[in-house]
Structure formats: structure tokens, C-alpha cells
């Protein structure tokens, strides 16, 4: 099944491009300390203040210009990618674990368990997403850790819904009944028999989840409630840009493009992955 | 119909309790004693233990947790959300003051997004697969990925800084009161343009995608094939059979967009210095004004709850399968 899905996924050039882009950004982020380093390709650290060269437009020396303290924008963006992707992946992983667990229990056992989980989802969905995240981060103090936990705790609902739906469908299928008849325990049926079959749709929602987490993290940083300064993040770069909007266009342009392309790439991958899984499409 | 409405109302009440419990828990895990919510802060921090005890007693904070919850819930139901630490006024009053400004901004953005997005979605469903439709789909998809705060910055840079045709921020000009009535209207409208565009473009993409999906879903169904087979004109099939059925799910979407709009308004109101609840929320967080923060959290959650309740009830009225059958199929 995975091979067929991959073949169908590959047919979209846009999606393959997005996948290549995401891999590239992940690599660059992982290697940021090696690239943006006084002796290397981008000869500046992310926190190298140089007030004499502040607010310089892009030129061959500072390829994307410098910020209000003379720090190299490219170097800061490379390091910012680390924050964005770490938060994106880990927050989604937390949401995936919570959502899958609750959704699986709700779908498999039904009845009271299902009822409770469904009500819990309704309650969480009532809180405007950004309000809740801002609130949690502010109450517990902004840090990489709180941002990740807050995002994970608030964005599991979609995963739970998908997982619940899949388990509801799968538990009635013959292979699940066969497993039950042969005396397998519930946990074994859920983990070994149902989960592998339910994974694909949940991974689709995880791909959208990464996009949304990156977007929310940068919004929080932009508002000043993300990972605290001086750590460079794409959102906090834009926060600086806001103060110099009158004359320093490069401060606003490049980090925004980075956020947009990364978020769009994860959305495109999720969208194409969903279509590739759907036998009715095309 | 009646069973459906009763069940839906019952769930709404349950959800309300869920919301109240979450916020109550948040109050109690906030660093610092909840009694500080009620202390008129002079900043000196010199308050006698006796006075503190009196405040504690007045606000029932010396009672068991369950009793505290009951008092808090009672306050919530009577719109008593405590007193703002910084403004030294009732939180409910403060929110009531800012809410109309946010409603104005969000309402216009929502109407605009629906008015443009839905026709585009219907058009896309008819042209499904053609080059122009696919180009439009990709455009909307990318639009949805654009961070709104970045779009706002670029719009400001372009229209306010470079070309200076729209105001940079604020709800009205400084000389607003000296203007004639006509000029006042123009002044308010020009201040609305950028914030509304920033709020509306992502919603537009959602509306377009959602309505396209809804129409495509209906077109696949048997009764459309039947209508086609018996020779109903293609235009009539689309308008009378497909669109009317596809519009029903859009009611749900209206309910679902409310929390997104409220979330988005935090960013937009902050950037454009629009005096609404989003900005109040952010400022309260900055000033550690927890009663206001938690009050706003409760109020926005309840507004969302009411919106989704209203959407579900409207759905029931619009869809005879629910009105007569007593429950939603899915």
C-alpha cells in the first residue's frame, strides 16, 4: 500500500518539490552552527553584534542584510530554522501521541470512553487557538519548552478525530474480529493490528499539524511570547522588522518568505499525501 | 427535531462546564496566590495579613476548592468576572467596551470572505480539473499558508509607507472629531481596509476550498446522476439540485470560523493598533493582569460555543434530514 501511495504522490511535481525543499531546510537547520560560523560559508554567528554595520541592505558581504544590532540576517535565519522546525516537529509529535491515544481508546471501546473523549474535544475546540496558546505560554513563562508543550496540548483534537474514525471502522473488520477470536488482548489488537492500518490518515493530519505549529510558533514569537530573545526565530526577526518597517524592507521580506515557503511546503505535502491515499481521487 | 435540539443544548451546557473547569484550573495553577487577583496593587506590596485575610474571605478564597468553584461559576453566570488589576474596573465592563470594535472588524472580514470565497468555490467545482481552476486552487492553497502578520507588514510597507494612501494604524485619525460626517465615514473606512484585508484573505481561501468540496461531494451522489439521466438541463441540475444541498454544510463553516477569526484578531489588532479584545488580551498578558486574561479566555470560549450551537441549530432547520430524523447522520 505504501508503495502505491508513494507512486501516486510522486506524480505531483509540486509535492515532490515541497518534499525536497523540506528536506533541504531540515538539513540546513541541522547544520546551521557549521554553516553560519566565522570560519565558514556564512562568516557570521547568529548573535555577532556589529553596531557599526547596523541595518545594512543586502550586499555581497551580508547577503540578506543586517538587523538593528548589525547581526547578519542570513545567519540568524539559519538558526531560526532550528527553532521553527524543532517546535514544528516536536509539538506535532506530542499532539500525535495524545490525539492518537485518546482517539484510539474512543474508537475502539466506544460507549462511555467515546463520549468522554468527544466532549473533551468539543471543549478544547471552543478556545480560540492563539488565545489559549498565548495564555499558557504567558502563564508559564515563554521558552522553547513551554511553546512546544502548549502547542502539543492544544492541537491534538484533529488527530484524535481521525484516529477515532479509523478505529471505529477497523474494529469491525474481519481481521480484527479474527484477532479477537484467537484471544489477543485489547492492547495487542490495537497496537499490532489496528494502528498500522490507521496510521496513514493520521500522518496526513500530522503534516498539516507541522505547518500549523510552525505558523503559530512564529506568530507567538512575533507577538513577543515565543522563544525569548536573543535566540533567533523567524517570528522574532519579523518582530524586529516591525519597528524598522519605514526603511528596512529586507528585515521583513526574507524571514516572511522562509515561514511562508516552509508552511506551504508542509501543507502541499499533506494535501498530496491525502489525495494519494484516497482511491476515489482522480 | 425536538430531541435533536434538546440533546444539542444539553451538550452545550456540558461544554460550558468543561470550559469553566479548565479556566478555573488555570486560575489555580497560575504562579502566585489567586488572592492577588483582588488586591488593589499599589506596587508597594505592603498589605497587612489581616487585610489579606479579609479580601480572601470576601472572595471566598478561604473555602474548600469545590466551594470556590461554585462561587466562581456563579460569578461567571452573573457576568462578574472579577476586577482588572491594572484598569481597576470590572473585567466584564472592560470587555464589553472593546467587544463591539472587534465585532465590527471581524464581521466585515467574515462577510467579505464569504461573499467572495463561496462563489469562487462554486465556480471551481464546475470547472474542476481545468487549468484555470487548478491554478486558482494552488493560489488559494498558498494564500492559506501566508502568515497574516507578515502580510500585514507588507501591506503597511506598500500602502502606508511607500504610497501613503492608507493610514498605518489606528481606528480613526487624530482630527476625527473636527471632520464633517462624510469625511468621518471615509476616515473610518480607510482605517478598516488593511486590517480587514489581513483578516479576510485566509478565510477567503478556507471558504473557497470548503464550498468547492461541498459541491463536489453532492455532485457525486446518486440523485444528481438521476436528475442528469432523466434529462434535467445541466444548469438546472447545478443550481436547483447541487448548490442548494451544498450550501447547508457552509452553515457549519460559519460557526467554525469564529474561533479562527478571534485568534487572528489578536495579531491584526496588535499590528494595526485596533482597540478590540485581541489587543486588550495581549496588553493584559504583558501587564500580568490575570483576571482580565482569564476573563477574556472564558468570554471568547463561550462566544465560540454559542456560535457553534447557533450554527448547529440553523443546520437542523435547514436540513430536513435532521429536522425530521432527529439526528445528524455523521
CA distance A275 to A279: 8
Q: What is the mean pLDDT of residues A210-214?
A: 87
Residues of B in contact with A271 (CB under 8 A): 141
B250 touches chain A (CB under 8 A): no
Residue A228 DSSP class? P
Under 8 Å between Cβ of B266 and B149: no
Question: Which among A80, A128, A216 is the top mutation candidate for probing chain B, defined by the most B β-carbons within 10 Å of its own β-carbon?
Answer: A128
Q: What does the block give as the cell for B128? A: 474542476
Query: What was the pLDDT predicted at A94?
Result: 92
Query: What was the pLDDT predicted at A158?
Result: 84
Residues of A in contact with B271 (CB under 8 A): 242
B15 touches chain A (CB under 8 A): yes
A228 touches chain B (CB under 8 A): no
Q: State whether A223 and B270 contact (CB < 8 Å).
A: yes
Query: What was the pLDDT predicted at A235?
Result: 79
Complex prediction ipTM: 0.78
Query: What was the pLDDT predicted at B82?
Result: 73
| Nearest chain B Cα distance for residue A262, angstroms | 9
Residue A214 clears pLDDT 50, i.e. is over it: yes
Query: What was the pLDDT predicted at A280?
Result: 58
B123 CB burial (10 A radius; 0-12, 13-18, 19+) = middle
- The pLDDT tens digits for A71-110 are 777 777 788 888 888 888 999 999 999 988 888 888 888 8
B270 touches chain A (CB under 8 A): yes
Q: State whether A127 and B300 contact (CB < 8 Å).
A: yes
- Neighbour count for residue A236 (Cβ, 10 Å): 25
Mean pLDDT, all residues of chain A: 79
- The pLDDT tens digits for A33-45 are 766 665 566 666 6
pLDDT band with cut points at 50, 70 and 90 for residue A147: confident
Q: Please give the biggest Cα pair distance in chain B.
A: 86
**Which of the residues in chain B have pLDDT under 50?**
42-44, 326-330
Query: What was the pLDDT predicted at B37?
Result: 61
Query: What was the pLDDT predicted at B43?
Result: 47
3-state SS of chain A: helix, strand, coil percent to 5?
75, 0, 25
Query: What was the pLDDT predicted at B106?
Result: 87
Amino acid at each position: 500500500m505504501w508503495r502505491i501511495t508513494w507512486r501516486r504522490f510522486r506524480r505531483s511535481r509540486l509535492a515532490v518539490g515541497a518534499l525536497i525543499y523540506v528536506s533541504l531546510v531540515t538539513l540546513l537547520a541541522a547544520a546551521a552552527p557549521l554553516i553560519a560560523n566565522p570560519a565558514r560559508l556564512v562568516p557570521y554567528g547568529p548573535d555577532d553584534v556589529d553596531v557599526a554595520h547596523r541595518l545594512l541592505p543586502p550586499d555581497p558581504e551580508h547577503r540578506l542584510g543586517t538587523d538593528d544590532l548589525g547581526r547578519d540576517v542570513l545567519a540568524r535565519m539559519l538558526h531560526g530554522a532550528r527553532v521553527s522546525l524543532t517546535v514544528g516537529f516536536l509539538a506535532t509529535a506530542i499532539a500525535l501521541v495524545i490525539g492518537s491515544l485518546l482517539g484510539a481508546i474512543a474508537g475502539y471501546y466506544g460507549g462511555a470512553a467515546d463520549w468522554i473523549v468527544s466532549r473533551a474535544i468539543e471543549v478544547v475546540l471552543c478556545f480560540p487557538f492563539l488565545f489559549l496558546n498565548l495564555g499558557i505560554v504567558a502563564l508559564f513563562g515563554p521558552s522553547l519548552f513551554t511553546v512546544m508543550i502548549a502547542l502539543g496540548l492544544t492541537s491534538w483534537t484533529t488527530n484524535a478525530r481521525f484516529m477515532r474514525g479509523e478505529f471505529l471502522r477497523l474494529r469491525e473488520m474481519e481481521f480484527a474480529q479474527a484477532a479477537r477470536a484467537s484471544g489477543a488482548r485489547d492492547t495487542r489488537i490495537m497496537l499490532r493490528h489496528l494502528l498500522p492500518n490507521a496510521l496513514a490518515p493520521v500522518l496526513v493530519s500530522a503534516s498539516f499539524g507541522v505547518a500549523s505549529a510552525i505558523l503559530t510558533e512564529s506568530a507567538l514569537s512575533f507577538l513577543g511570547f515565543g522563544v525569548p530573545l536573543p535566540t533567533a526565530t523567524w517570528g522574532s526577526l519579523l518582530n524586529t522588522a516591525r519597528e524598522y518597517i519605514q526603511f528596512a524592507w529586507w528585515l521583513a521580506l526574507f524571514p516572511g518568505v522562509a515561514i511562508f515557503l516552509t508552511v506551504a511546503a508542509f501543507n502541499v505535502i499533506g494535501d498530496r499525501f491525502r489525495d494519494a491515499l484516497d482511491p476515489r481521487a482522480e | 427535531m425536538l430531541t435533536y435540539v434538546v440533546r444539542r443544548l444539553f451538550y452545550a451546557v456540558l461544554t460550558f462546564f468543561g470550559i469553566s473547569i479548565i479556566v478555573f484550573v488555570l486560575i489555580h495553577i497560575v504562579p502566585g496566590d489567586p488572592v492577588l487577583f483582588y488586591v488593589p496593587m499599589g506596587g508597594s506590596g505592603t498589605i497587612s495579613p489581616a487585610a489579606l485575610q479579609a479580601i480572601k474571605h470576601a472572595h471566598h478564597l478561604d473555602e474548600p476548592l469545590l466551594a470556590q468553584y461554585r462561587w466562581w461559576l456563579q460569578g461567571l453566570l452573573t457576568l462578574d468576572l472579577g476586577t482588572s488589576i491594572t484598569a481597576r474596573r470590572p473585567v466584564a465592563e472592560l470587555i464589553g467596551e472593546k467587544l463591539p470594535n472587534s465585532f465590527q472588524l471581524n464581521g466585515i472580514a467574515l462577510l467579505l470572505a464569504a461573499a467572495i470565497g463561496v462563489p469562487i468555490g462554486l465556480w471551481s467545482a464546475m470547472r474542476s480539473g481545468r487549468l484555470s481552476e487548478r491554478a486558482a486552487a494552488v493560489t488559494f492553497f498558498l494564500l492559506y499558508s501566508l502568515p497574516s502578520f507578515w502580510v500585514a507588514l507588507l501591506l503597511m510597507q506598500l500602502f502606508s509607507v511607500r504610497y501613503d494612501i492608507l493610514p498605518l494604524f489606528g481606528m480613526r485619525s487624530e482630527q476625527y472629531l473636527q471632520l464633517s460626517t462624510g469625511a468621518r465615514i471615509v476616515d473610518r473606512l480607510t482605517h478598516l481596509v488593511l486590517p480587514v484585508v489581513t483578516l479576510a484573505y485566509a478565510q477567503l481561501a478556507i471558504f473557497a476550498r470548503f464550498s468547492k468540496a461541498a459541491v463536489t461531494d453532492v455532485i457525486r451522489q446518486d440523485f444528481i446522476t438521476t436528475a442528469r439521466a432523466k434529462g434535467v438541463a445541466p444548469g438546472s441540475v447545478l443550481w436547483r439540485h447541487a448548490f442548494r444541498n451544498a450550501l447547508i454544510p457552509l452553515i457549519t463553516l460559519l460557526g467554525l470560523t469564529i474561533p479562527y477569526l478571534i485568534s487572528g484578531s489578536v495579531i491584526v489588532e496588535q499590528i494595526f493598533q485596533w482597540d478590540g479584545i485581541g489587543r486588550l488580551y495581549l496588553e493584559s498578558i504583558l501587564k500580568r493582569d490575570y483576571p482580565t486574561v482569564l476573563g477574556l479566555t472564558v468570554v471568547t470560549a463561550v462566544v465560540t460555543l454559542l456560535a457553534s450551537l447557533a450554527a448547529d441549530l440553523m443546520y437542523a432547520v435547514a436540513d430536513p434530514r435532521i429536522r425530521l430524523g432527529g439526528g445528524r447522520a455523521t
